[in-house]
Chain A
Amino acid sequence: MRRSLLQSVLLYACVVLVALFTAGPLLWLVTMSISAPTDLTEVPLRWIPSEVDFSRYQTLLDLNDGSGERFLSALRNSILTAGGATLLALLLAVPAAYSFSRRNASMVLLFAFLATIMMPPITYILPLYSTFSSLGMLNKTLTLIVVYTAMLLPFATWLMKSNIDVLPIEVEQAAFMEGASTAYTIREVVLPLALPAIAATAMLSFLVAWDEFFYALIFTNDLSAKTLPVAIADFSAGRVTDYGVIATVGVMATLPPAILAICFQKFIVSGLVAGSVKG
């Protein structure tokens, strides 16, 4: 189909608009992080930095620097918390999803699970805080892992269930017919087929845990457990707010999930089921 010139112009204008809308904030974040401090406070705003300044990155990656220490411990805590919670949630969600999908586990239960994430977190904060407080578990990475796992589990189970639902059931039946146990079938047959779904679920779960702010804010109070979102907030709460530093931390904080997404991308492809059933 051939487009007229006007149609082409309109089409590309829309494309540029969408691209700017989605990539704009990120670009501005990167620009801020390498601008000179004076550029950021100028009125009117300087869109193109007068000089390129990477010194903030250097500071943040230096353990001996105050901000560097804050950032790097937060990064470590975030990776441990989000990674641990994702791993734990997946370990529990996959068998749970299989039961819901193939073994007629009650759907009421699944909806009850889902109902728990529909409640605003504020309702859980008080009881959770007093419980963890009495157990002496406040300000610990493990505490956040437990809370995040509980938060991720319903969502991960539901996502995995809908993905297992569409796998060809005959393949599992064939495995049972050949004498395989349920555990063996899940490990050798279902998991390889569900790999793209698992990768997608892991990715999304990790992002949710990575970005979580509220629980982390309440349950942690120093370098030993604070995660990145809380650390970023801390950077802006000092006497003088350095927007450049906040932007730099923001850019650095997006890197781990971005790297993870690139690594998982090759798994998140369809067509792994090809060849199992029909022609």
Chain B
Amino acid sequence: MSDQHILSINNLQKLYGETHVLKDINIAMDKGEFLVLVGPSGCGKSTLLSCISGLTEISSGSIHIAGKDRTHCEPADRDIAMVFQSYALFPNMSVERNIGFGLEVRKVPEAIRKQKVAEVAELLKIGHLLHRRPAELSGGQRQRVAMGRALVRDPALFLFDEPLSNLDAKLRVTMRTEIKRIHQTTGASIVYVTHDQIEAMTLATRIVVLRDGIIQQIGTPQEIYNTPVNAFVADFMGSPSMNLMRGTAVRQDGKIRLSIPTPGGSVLELEDMRTDSSAISEEKRDILIGLRPEAMTDTLSGSRDPGQIADCILDVVEPAGADTYAVINLGGTETIARLSADANVQAGQTVPIRFDLSKVSYFDVDSGARL
């Protein structure tokens, strides 16, 4: 059943005593995919990776790697390699020996070992560091060595456990690109854990969003971004996150009429003509209206869609270089609008804001589920 998948996890459960850390996890991953496990801290993403690696024993369910049942295999017998958050380099060995350690253990002849290590070092641009000790390397170089150690064995599956979280912001972006480049050139199958949703969006071919040990959504970055299955995913993914305004919706003449209360007591009225209106009945109901900040712009922004324009009071204005973010109080929450950098606006001003409802999401107020 899992022959075509490089990794397939079925009904995985993990309990620590009474605590249910992972609940009924099902993942099927194809060869060459870059699967990112993302979620807030304590969501179980690292535990899940640890289960895949075999460092943690699972409570029930099964794990198949490259078509073989590896549920109860030792980590060494799973045909995987892991890059640890803390790098976990061997401090007493040179970079060369660190990278070649797995080959050394497997008794690969020294000549072949040297050649493979040199190839990987070339790929990672650390060829000149091979004779140094880990203590003599910078954070980014250590990260490269840790990746080299994983890459050199050419396993079926790579596991990355928050590999960039110990790097400074600038280096993190560089290494992110580097990892993406390596994935593109080697076609490796990678499972990658991060709490950083930007990393998830930029690196993944598919994202798994976890919360409290339950998979919320599995999908491509576009699917996760544009059609989040619930309010949690909508809020977690994207920076700034999706605006979730409380309002009412009713179906009228094949379109959806939205009413969002403003603090001044007036009501912002919007019309959604595209969404399949069967999602909303003709009976008026309270809903959460999800709009990305870029769907709320100033009238200067050159959007093709004229959208709908309404006057809003800007509470706070935050220039961020390429964009200017404005905080607007709508639907009982502070929403963020993404204005153009040229928008010459001040806090407290009333400004016409263009609402683009082509990618609007609706969620149930109580369950948070997508409507």
- List the A residue with the shortest CB-CB distance to B83: A174
Which B residues are CB-close (under 8 A) to A120? none
Binding site for B on A (CB under 8 A): 168, 170-171, 173-180, 184, 188-189, 192-193, 272-279
CB distance from A239 to the nearest CB of B (A): 58
- A275 near B86 with CB under 8 A, answer no
Quick one: which of B91, B105, B139 contacts A179, CB cutoff 8 A?
Answer: B105
Known: A168-B88, A275-B89, A278-B87. A177 touches B75 (CB 8 A): yes
- List the B residue with the shortest CB-CB distance to A279: B139
Q: Tell me, in angstroms, the Cα distance from A177 to B92 when the chains sit together.
A: 18
Please, how many residues of chain B have a CB less than 8 angstroms from a CB on the other chain?
33
- B101 near A171 with CB under 8 A, answer no
Q: Mark B284-310, 1 if CB is under 8 A from A, else 0.
A: 000000000000000000000000000
Which B133-148 residues sit within 8 Å CB-CB of chain A?
A: 133-139, 142
Q: Tell me, in angstroms, the Cα distance from A277 to B98 when the chains sit together.
A: 13
Quick one: which of A170, A176, A193 contacts B76, CB cutoff 8 A?
Answer: A176
- List the B residue with the shortest CB-CB distance to A275: B135
B343 CB–A CB distance under 8 Å? no
- 18 chain-A/chain-B pairs, Cβ below 8 angstroms: A170-B84, A170-B86, A171-B88, A171-B91, A173-B82, A177-B76, A178-B101, A179-B105, A180-B76, A192-B91, A193-B92, A272-B92, A275-B136, A276-B89, A277-B84, A277-B87, A278-B87, A279-B138
CB distance from A111 to the nearest CB of B (A): 23
Query: Shortest 9 CB-CB distances between A and B: which pairs?
Result: A275-B135, A178-B102, A275-B134, A192-B92, A277-B86, A170-B88, A276-B91, A179-B76, A174-B88
Q: Tell me, in angstroms, the Cα distance from A168 to B134 when the chains sit together.
A: 15
- A276 near B134 with CB under 8 A, answer yes
Quick one: which of B87, B102, B135 contacts A274, CB cutoff 8 A?
Answer: B135
B55 CB–A CB distance under 8 Å? yes
Quick one: which of B86, B105, B166 contacts A178, CB cutoff 8 A?
Answer: B105
Q: Mark B89-110, 1 if CB is under 8 A from A, else 0.
A: 1111100000001100110000
Further pairs besides A173-B88, A178-B76, A178-B149: 9, Cβ < 8 Å: A171-B88, A171-B91, A173-B84, A174-B88, A177-B55, A177-B81, A179-B102, A279-B138, A279-B166
Which B residues are CB-close (under 8 A) to A178? 76, 81, 101-102, 105, 149, 153
B3 CB–A CB distance under 8 Å? no
- B105 near A184 with CB under 8 A, answer yes
A-B pair count, CB < 8 Å, reads 88
Known: A177-B76, A179-B105. A272 touches B91 (CB 8 A): yes
Q: Tell me, in angstroms, the Cα distance from A190 to B93 when the chains sit together.
A: 12
Most buried by A among B92, B142, B166: B92
- List the A residue with the shortest CB-CB distance to B81: A177
Q: Tell me, in angstroms, the Cα distance from A278 to B163 when the chains sit together.
A: 11
- List the B residue with the shortest CB-CB distance to A176: B75
B74 CB–A CB distance under 8 Å? yes
Which B265-295 residues sit within 8 Å CB-CB of chain A?
A: none
Quick one: which of B90, B102, B106, B133 contacts A171, CB cutoff 8 A?
Answer: B90
- List the A residue with the shortest CB-CB distance to B78: A177
Which A residues are CB-close (under 8 A) to B76? 176-180
- A277 near B88 with CB under 8 A, answer yes
B230 CB–A CB distance under 8 Å? no
Q: Tell me, in angstroms, the Cα distance from A193 to B137 when the chains sit together.
A: 18
Quick one: which of A174, A189, A275 contacts B137, CB cutoff 8 A?
Answer: A275
Which B residues are CB-close (under 8 A) to A170? 84-86, 88
Which B residues are CB-close (under 8 A) to A273? 91
B258 CB–A CB distance under 8 Å? no
B58 CB–A CB distance under 8 Å? no
Which B residues are CB-close (under 8 A) to A278? 86-87, 166
- A174 near B55 with CB under 8 A, answer no
- A175 near B80 with CB under 8 A, answer no
Q: Mark B150-184, 1 if CB is under 8 A from A, else 0.
A: 00010000000000001000000000000000000
Which B residues are CB-close (under 8 A) to A279? 138-139, 142, 166
- List the B residue with the shortest CB-CB distance to A172: B88
- B91 near A193 with CB under 8 A, answer yes
B243 CB–A CB distance under 8 Å? no
Q: Tell me, in angstroms, the Cα distance from A279 to B146 when the chains sit together.
A: 13
Which B47-81 residues sit within 8 Å CB-CB of chain A?
A: 53, 55, 74-76, 80-81
Quick one: which of A175, A177, A189 contacts B53, CB cutoff 8 A?
Answer: A177
Q: Tell me, in angstroms, the Cα distance from A166 to B324 when the chains sit together.
A: 48
Which B residues are CB-close (under 8 A) to A174? 82, 84, 88-90, 149
Which B residues are CB-close (under 8 A) to A192? 91-92
Known: A193-B91, A277-B87, A279-B166. A180 touches B135 (CB 8 A): no
Q: Tell me, in angstroms, the Cα distance from A273 to B92 when the chains sit together.
A: 8
Q: Tell me, in angstroms, the Cα distance from A193 to B88 when the chains sit together.
A: 13
- A173 near B55 with CB under 8 A, answer yes
Q: Tell me, in angstroms, the Cα distance from A193 to B102 when the chains sit together.
A: 19
Q: Tell me, in angstroms, the Cα distance from A168 to B86 when the chains sit together.
A: 9
- List the A residue with the shortest CB-CB distance to B133: A275
Known: A275-B135, A275-B142. A179 touches B84 (CB 8 A): no
